[in-house]
Amino acid sequence: IKVVFFDLDETLYDYGSVRRIANQRVAELVEKLGIISSDVFIRTLRRITKEFYEKYQGLPALFDRKNRFREVFKALNIDVNEEIVTKLADEYWNFVYQHIKPYPDVVPVLEFLKKKGYRLGIISDGLIDVQLNRIRALKLEKYFDIFTFSEEVGKNKPALEIFQLALRKANCSPSEAIMVGDNVKTDIAGANRIGMISIWIRRGIFKNVEPDNQLEVPNYTIYILNELIDILNNITTI
């Protein structure tokens, strides 16, 4: 094994709880600006988010926060200028960047893998700038050699294209790579389809979403990142 790829959100840090508070902060700002009550904003945002997942499933546009906020106001028949939308998106992302922290097991494991000579990569759904800003906010950038985001290929995981691009950047074959992710439907299915070794880390918002078919069944399941070291030791000694 030459390269260990990781998903970002929920795999290396807890995004779910920070996202909830960030949305609440945006809702409070909307109320403060006298546009609408925070309760109505949050209720409508939930509905729009659900619609976004149906409409943009598999596309990077799913993660465009400005677009989501625009749709909330559109649904409420409220005219809001672009300056306000930008202000709300900035409020959201600034809160996220300030409050996200890696899970406690992340830095020690990444440091160990680097010392062992593995190359490390990120394969993440999302917009390039936003994802890079998150990685910098988490202070994890220095550990990684390869960054691949779904915006680069125009499709989210489990699309083959994002995994193919990551392997090209890493200059390695699927059998020389491992993918560690929290979501069986995206990380594991994509890794299995291309022929990487797949490792499901059961934490975050998708930890109880079980595989629906053979493609979503991981080669290994772990609960903390330290278990990855044992798996790598076993693979390299086989």
* CATH no. of 3-13+101-237: 3.40.50.1000
pLDDT tens digits for range 113-152: 999 999 999 999 999 999 999 999 999 999 999 999 999 9
Torsion of CA 67, 160, 218, 113, to 10 degrees: -90
What residue segments make up the domains of the chain, in order of their start? 3-13+101-237, 16-99
The span from the CA of 103 to the CA of 17, in Å, is 13
pLDDT tens digits for range 209-231: 999 999 999 999 999 999 999 99
Query: At a CB cut-off of 8 Å and minimum separation 6, what does 31 contact?
Result: 37, 38, 41
CA atoms within 13 A on the CB side of 133: 13
Residue 134 Cα to chain centre, angstroms: 10
| pTM of the full structure | 0.94
